[in-house]
Copies of this chain bind each other. A is one copy, B any other.
Amino acid sequence: MDGKSVAGRIHDAIHRLTAAEKRAARGLLGSYPTLGLAPVAEFAEQAGASSATVLRFVAQLGYKSYPDFQRALREEMEARSKSPLQRGVPLGDQREPDSHFLDQFISRAADNLRATAGLIPPSEFEAVCTRLAETKAQCWLAGGRFTDFLAGYMEAHLRLIRPGVRRLDGRPATRTDQLIDIRPGDTVIIFDVRRYDPALVELAAELASQRAQIVLITDEWMSPVNRFAKLVLPCRTEMDRTWDANGSLLAVVEALLARTTELAWPSASKRMGAIERS
């Protein structure tokens, strides 16, 4: 048996595998390496395949028997726990030397996340959450061409935890109608990233004149909307020269939702329970 890790062998062999064998492979990767240390029957059950298929799967990986495969797994975890440097890295994701596109991309996305955490002052973040947990004022959401989905996502979740959540429609024409309903002190969350949408700046200007409180979620280059915003949460989005990624915006949105849920728990839990039952 050569020195490759079991997870590595799976990645190498997966294209040769049949549908049921792939279920076994995914099952193992999903709870790695535990499932492989269980008896064949349990492995099969958990992965949604038959024992025979699991056996064929380990044969495909190049092991001459199931016990042999299990020994490889044990030796792998033993080696890992013995080297103090690598301790703490979960077993599944040791980087193979020939890091693939997905690995590189995700690694950069993770860098962006970390940078974003550094970019946003905790007090700003907290201020937005307390404002959202405060249900006296209404809360509106608006996004641009490629960020509208974020507004939609946030709206759907925010609706679960508080009342008075509404969405500002994308088309500038219909916006003027909606502006009538906005009251002074209402919160408006605006998403805007590079190739900034001029319509959003106009919108922000009008909202500001109506004394709405604008929260801007943007990228590191700062949408011009920030002129009118009370609170700004900038996120790192740059991947390379041609590509920006909105993953960090979503992460911030989810963090906002989680924290707001926490702050508004007494009322939010009742509301969520009621929605659940309906």
Contact = CB atoms under 8 A, between A and B. Distances in A.
Q: Is the interface of A mostly helix, strand, loop or mixed?
A: helix
Copies per assembly: 2
Contact of A102 (B91, B105, B255): B255
Contacts of A25: 121
A211 interface: no
B115 A90 contact: yes
A213 interface: no
A270 interface: no
A54 to B, nearest CB: 16
Interface stretch (A145-153, A171-179, A182-190, A199-207): A145-153
A6 interface: no
Given A26-B232, A37-B74, A247-B250, A106 B102 contact: no
Given A26-B234, A110-B110, A124-B14, A251 B259 contact: no
16 contacts: A15-B127, A29-B119, A30-B222, A31-B81, A81-B90, A88-B89, A88-B90, A102-B122, A103-B122, A105-B251, A109-B254, A109-B255, A145-B156, A149-B149, A152-B152, A239-B258
